Amino acid sequence: MDRSSVEAARSKGVTPSGDGAPPSVREAIELAQALWTNISSVVLGAPGAVTAAVVAALSGNHLLVEDVPGVGKTMLAKALARTVGARMARIQGQADLLPSDITGVSVYSPASSTWEIRPGPVFAHVLLVDELNRTPPRTQSALLESMEERQVTIDGESLPLPRPHLVLATQNPISQIGTYPLVESQLDRFGLSTGLGYPSEEAEVSLALRHGAQPALDDLKPACAVESWERAQRAVRTVIVAPAVAGYAVRLCRATRAMPSIRLGASPRAAIVLTATAQAHAILAGRDFATPDDVKAVAVACLQHRIAVDSGDGRHAIEQILAATPVPRP
């Protein structure tokens, strides 16, 4: 999509903005590139996962990382939190984890003769839930309100979460003993899903020399403050989306509902998220307008976990849809 097409679409495109004066798109572009460089200096050999993490952070969406143990899922979360200068909390998924272990509890104080709320780990900018699928459904559901509404209700009182707020959850797709598969409503709260995969031999040698990259993580410096991260999110929402680009995102989502091998297609929320993540990808690419290629770049990560297929996996189904759906061109 050329610049003239973008200029023509400025008055028609989807250009939501945040409160107050719009932040600088150039500032957001510089920050996006700094985030990618910083995280990839620690998470080696997984550029796709690093891109997914940066796009999730910029678009204000949550990230699900599904992969085998030992490939750097926790490292990715820690590197992201440290890069944006945010406070991170970590929860280890286990069968006896209670909802209050995530959200917090109300405790009676004899000194003041009142009930006091003690916030749980969810009250952090970046929440890492390691092995989310090892927690029972009742505990998993404790995250639904926080992920969607950015608030938590404790004893009838709704408390806002810090802004920005990002949940990065991991799960192991191999060992299913003692696990509770995430329900569709939970999966739909994650804007993107990704995996790291095994690194190349060169990257693995570098990891071995770094003793698991822990020294590198210790030396990792923040690329920005939390306030800059929040401003970048608002800048992403000003990225221009022409109607043709938004229509392409919608057609991809609608195609998942018509494909015979897919039992459950992507929801309308998926089209909204796909558009928002395309805006973030455009920022990462150094542009203030989104193109169909931005939609294609994030489509698998946005949609693969939102569909249920009869056989195979979601990635293959989305790749088939991408190949079959015409791409709008100016």
Of residues 267, 250, 256, 260, the one with CA closest to residue 314: 256
Q: 102 and 184: one domain?
A: yes
Residue 99: give its domain's CATH number: 3.40.50.300
Q: 6 and 86: one domain?
A: no
Q: Round to whole Å and give the CA distance between 234 and 24.
A: 9
Q: What is the pTM of this model?
A: 0.87
Higher pLDDT, 8 or 290: 290
Q: 309 and 163: one domain?
A: no
The whole-number average pLDDT for the span 63-87 is 87
pLDDT score of 6: 36
In a domain, 22, yes or no: no
**Average of per-residue pLDDT values in the chain:** 87
Q: Round to whole Å and give the CA distance between 274 and 256.
A: 13
pLDDT tens string 164-205:
999 999 988 776 677 888 888 889 999 999 998 888 888 888
Residue 285: give its domain's CATH number: 1.10.8.80
Confidence of residue 211 (pLDDT cuts 50, 70, 90): low
Confidence of residue 16 (pLDDT cuts 50, 70, 90): very low
Q: 123 and 66: one domain?
A: yes
- Give helix then strand counts, H and E, for the chain: 15, 11
Residue 22 has pLDDT above 70, yes or no: no
pLDDT score of 180: 87
Write down which residue in 197, 223, 249 finishes a domain: 223
Of residues 34, 55, 126, 31, the one with CA closest to residue 275: 55
What residue numbers bound the domain in which 81 lies?
Answer: 37-223
Other beta carbons within 10 angstroms of residue 98's beta carbon come to 14
Q: 98 and 174: one domain?
A: yes
Q: 195 and 52: one domain?
A: yes
Q: 1 and 93: one domain?
A: no
Confidence of residue 106 (pLDDT cuts 50, 70, 90): confident
pLDDT score of 74: 85
Q: Are 53 and 276 in contact (CB under 8 A)?
A: no
pLDDT tens string 271-288:
999 999 999 999 999 999
The percent of residues in the chain predicted with pLDDT above 90, rounded, is: 61
Confidence of residue 14 (pLDDT cuts 50, 70, 90): very low
pLDDT score of 33: 94
Write down which residue in 192, 223, 254 finishes a domain: 223
Which of 8-22, 97-111, 251-265 has the weakest average pLDDT? 8-22
Residue 142 has pLDDT above 70, yes or no: yes
DSSP-derived secondary structure letter, 21? S
Write down which residue in 171, 200, 223 finishes a domain: 223
pLDDT score of 247: 96
Q: Round to whole Å and give the CA distance between 25 and 164.
A: 18
Judged on CB neighbours under 10 Å (0-12, 13-18, 19+), 128 is buried
pLDDT tens string 303-322:
999 999 988 789 999 999 99
Q: How far apart are the first and last CA of the chain?
A: 6
Domains in the chain, number: 2
Of residues 190, 195, 196, the one with CA closest to residue 302: 190
pLDDT score of 250: 97
